[in-house]
Structure 1
Amino acid sequence: MKKYMELPADYAVLSDDEMTYTTGGSAVGGVVTIVGVAVLASSYVWGISQARDWLSVDSNRRGNPLTVMGRAMDAISDDMSKSPSNFLRDVVSTGTVVALAPLSALLLIL
């Protein structure tokens, strides 16, 4: 029986001190993650509330689903063109609403 390990040719042995740098993560990374999740969650809530407000207008709901989606895209585009901050806010909120489409549809129907 062989009592040795075969390692790849480019394998580099790390000491205990060097392992500190390979574990990753820091307090700053955790804070950034929490802030990012909070921003995405608030963007999602804002996007759903805006979609519900837009759909509450009877004329916006008329027509087939593709017509309604076209009108919605026009409304989002008009809002995005107002300022760079509106553009960024609308991109993030639209992305989160679309990414969570099944939940979004459920929240918009109820």
Structure 2
Amino acid sequence: MENIMMLPASYCVMNEEEMTYTTGGASAIQAIAAWVFPPYAWLAGVTAIRDYRKKNPNTWTQDGLDYFANDMGKSVSNFLYDLACASWVLGTSATGIGLVINAAIVLL
């Protein structure tokens, strides 16, 4: 018995670098909104960290900055969006109560 995978005629194989252009990222509207409306950037940043931590529970502290840098390098809008989100998360973490709130969201 053979295991054979039948694919449709229109099937296209893509490598990892080609997937960068198809998986999307932040739009220009999201990047502008992150700079204009700080609560949006803060919430997006904190939830992105939480989601990454949940997907990578054992390596999120070691690989998180590499993932962040790769995401920033995908496009200009991703760079601006990620920069806004990171700046608001770091800015709110600089206050005592903000650090507790951010840590609670990320770790719970």
Short-chain TM bin? 0.5 to 0.7
Structure 2: give runs of 5+ residues left out of the alignment. Answer: 1-32, 94-98
Q: Which runs of 5+ in 1 are unaligned?
A: 1-34
1:83 and 1:76 map into 2 onto residues whose CA distance is: 13
Aligned positions, number: 70
Q: 2:54 aligns with which of 53, 56, 63?
A: 56
Give the whole-Å Cα distance in 2 for the aligned partners of 1:84 and 1:36. 14
Aligned to 2:69: 77
| 1:86 to 1:96, Cα distance in 2 relative to 1, 3 A | same
Instruction: Give the aligned partner of residue 105 of structure 2.
Output: 107
Q: Select the structure with the greater relative contact order (CA < 8 A; seq sep ≥ 6).
A: 2
**CA distance in 2: counterparts of 1:90 and 1:36, whole angstroms:** 9
Root mean square deviation of aligned Cα: 2.2
Overall identity of the aligned pairs, in %: 24
Moved over 3 A (4+): 35-38
Question: What TM-score does the superposition give when structure 2 sets the normalisation length?
Answer: 0.56
TM-score between the two structures when normalised by the length of structure 1: 0.55
Deviations 1:20-72 (A, max 9, x none): xxxxxxxxxxxxxxx88861110111111211111111xx2215xxxx33411
Q: Larger Cα Rg: Structure 1 or Structure 2?
A: 1
